[in-house]
Structure 1
Amino acid sequence: MTTEITGSVDFFVEGQIYQTWYKIVGDLMTGAHRPLVILHGGPGLDHGYVLPNALIYEKAGIPVVFYDQLGGGRSTHRPDAPKEFWTPELFMDELDNLLKHLHIQDDFDLLGHSWGGMLGAQYAASRSPKGLKRLIISNSPASMDLFEAGINALLEEFPADVVQKIRKHEADGTTHEQEYLSFMMTFYGKHVCKMDPMPEVLANSLKTMESEPTVYRTMQGLSEFSLTGTLKGWTIVDILHNISCPTLLLSAPLDEVQQPAVLPFFLKIQKIKWVEFQNSTHLACYDEPEKYFKVVLDFLEGTEGAN
């Protein structure tokens, strides 16, 4: 029988109190397994689309902690916040706060997907948390300049007239129009999730972010191709050597995060194993679930460090 607990924790920022909502699948109290904390992507999505990772508890008894990062899902929203509010440091502070609230700061693993992997890697590299035992970076870039070059190369593979229309929508700020949204669904089908129809939990997470786009618009920009937000120029390539815990790197040739953006992790992190999912896009947990969960569990349950 699966044990699920939901709750929220106070998060203090600049004298204000916010709420971070979380869900725990499994039991943190037994101590039988080190808990795994999941960092969702976006920035600005919620935990819903990464819920398939609850199977990690079902398959191996490893407690899994999900949470909605500030600004999205069931956590506090701040549509009025200035752009300077939304920083990687804010989200690293939020993660520290949650770990302490759950009393797992001395012994935990992290799995970050997309933006969550960027956050997890920056957290591991810049704060060197002693309690972090294993890190999984899933479908994440080490540099936003490298990400931008790769995803725009994928866009240019579409017919020239389609690309021209997409560029015009972005220049005109009309990315909310149906023509643009329809193209994005086509792009997602090729480079984000191959399942047709799109899984309901993923579609719901995207809709949730569309209804409250503050974090995404501020940090990313108008779209995946139009990087105009505060993450433009973001890179952690120069500090990746500080990550000392065993690390698993996941990617896919068809992913919107192309190989050059992933490669610095492999070259710079000391103890790392890199697995590419040849038949997946951005979400191997949907595209190749059997292989995905085997790779992840083999790493989490391994008695030796990553290769």
Structure 2
Amino acid sequence: MTKLVLAGDIGGTKTLLQLVEVQGDTRHMVYERRFDSAAHGDFNGIVGEFVYAAGFISAAAQPIVAACFGVAGPIHGQSAKITNLPWSINAGAVGAEFGIAKVHLINDFAAVGYGIEALHPDDLATLQAGEDEPHGTRAVLGAGTGLGEGLLLWRGDHYEALPSEGGHVDFAPADSEQVGLLNYLQPLFGHVSYERILSGSGLVKIFEYVTEHGLAKATPQLQAAMLEIDPAAVISEYGLDERDPAALKALDMFVAIYGAQAGNLALTLLASGGVYVAGGIAPKIIAKLKRGGFVRAFNDKGRFAALLQRIPVRVVMNQKVGLMGAALVASRLADRNQVE
């Protein structure tokens, strides 16, 4: 029997919604749409616009029987406050307004974790081959608007994704320049988490530190470009092709700190099943990640360097992995009457 489910990937920058037709283990995308999150006052308004556009508002149409939304923020009792948006989402309210019997909220990086099993090998870029341990614990992290983290545990026939807010742990500088960065950020934020650095806005803060403390000088061309478009995107672009010494320095620091935190997570979880680097930034700077700075910082764990070198590290290149994971959970809701 064919059923319709709704999946969503909800972040501070964008919201992706997808209507999926499910029959057994087969899933077929029916309709998909991207929304600018900040342009909307609440989530239910986006769902309403999506459902209307999809044409599934008639009582005679096939109903949506289940929905799962991966949300960028902590979840309490199936309610969530989005970390980088003034939104609150309640699963029951969404279900009641749109006539969906089963609605479930999961952490956005739990959704990414579920989606990893649905990826094709071409969706992954390897930074460190390591030694795959079948059914070993997996770690997931990814920088974008914020820094998401999660873990995957094998449960007999599939991986179960568990959420984490590890992106908000204390930043631990690894050298004197990073100590300087911490000292620069503390008056601004008080508590300096990894998310304050490993995010689009964090890259801009690193650049400001680099230029204000004389670690490198920005070119007039870069400074002009930063006034016209997204500063983080400009810094990445100029750093990737080494057009600007300050952008290059900032990007090098960003990559080193990213690799170090990935290694921290791998050690914390003993991620013998691999570390998966997702999020919006990694695919855009994949050429830089492959140059070795990320992996060097990942493995730089003193007595445990050899252990880290055995852990596979892969970048998720498919930006819809979270949506794929939410669709998988929605399918299970529809077919098995349970959430895993």
Note whether the superposition's TM-score is higher than 0.5.
Answer: no
- Larger relative contact order, structure 1 or 2 (CA cutoff 8 Å, min sep 6): 2
Return the structure number with greater strand share: 2
Q: TM-score, normalised by structure 1?
A: 0.30
Larger radius of gyration: 2
